[in-house]
């Protein structure tokens, strides 16, 4: 993967003022996917919006990692239901 599409965890944590352990726990819980190389550990730019969302929920609303997993699961279900409704609307209309 190109360096232009990712940022190191250390740089990311400094920018967002969060602990690296939080980012690693998000990875362990399957909420984000980190890219490991011999030099460093990275996160893709595409995942930064998810990281911001999890940072807000965890640090500002004090939701634990299990709660974040539940929220992600429910949002994924809502997204799938929205896709299904749009598909059904296309079939009816």
Each residue's pLDDT tens digit, 11-31: 999 999 999 999 999 999 999
What are the CA-CA distances from residue 79 to residues 22, 42, 53, 86 (Å)? 26, 27, 16, 11
CATH assignment of the domain containing 19: 1.10.1660.10
Each residue's pLDDT tens digit, 27-73: 999 999 999 999 899 999 999 999 999 999 999 999 999 999 999 99
Q: What is the pLDDT of residue 92?
A: 87
Q: What is the pLDDT of residue 68?
A: 98
Q: Partners of 7 in the beta sheet? A: 43
* Predicted confidence (pLDDT) at residue 1 exceeds the cutoff of 50: no
Domain carrying residue 17: 3-92
pTM over 0.95: no
User: Number of structural domains, the chain?
Assistant: 1
């Amino acid at each position: 993967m190109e360096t232009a599409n990712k940022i190191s965890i250390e740089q990311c944590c400094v920018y967002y003022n969060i602990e690296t352990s939080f980012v690693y726990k998000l990875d362990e819980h399957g909420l984000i996917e980190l890219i490991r190389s011999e030099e460093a550990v990275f996160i893709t730019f595409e995942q930064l919006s998810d990281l911001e969302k999890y940072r807000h929920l965890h640090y500002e609303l004090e939701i634990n990692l299990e709660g974040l997993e539940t929220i992600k699961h429910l949002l994924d279900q809502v997204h799938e239901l929205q896709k299904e409704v749009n598909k059904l609307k296309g079939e009816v209309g």
